[in-house]
Structure 1
Amino acid sequence: MARTSIARYLNFYNRRRPHSSLDRRTPDEAYFEPTPILAAA
């Protein structure tokens, strides 16, 4: 029961919960879809 609850929370935390430090993206979005690096002018 505890393992299932922890796994469900980690799934929510990484896949569904937006993080302010990641510009309101989820950790999965930040990892799998990185922000493109802009070239210097």
Structure 2
Amino acid sequence: MDLIQILEQEEIARLGKNIPDFAPGDTVIVSVNVVEGTRKRA
């Protein structure tokens, strides 16, 4: 196991979230909140 995989596993364990496997071609939904000064956009 390389360093990147070790760090990813530690981060997943720390967050306590179950992240499903995905592959090229899969559709994923990403939520982003943008904050500019006092303005916030989703």
Band the TM-score falls in, shorter-chain normalisation:
0.3 to 0.5
Q: For the pair shown, which has the larger CA radius of gyration, 1 or 2?
A: 2
Give the structure-2-normalised TM-score.
Answer: 0.35
Tell me which protein shows more strand as a share of its residues: 2
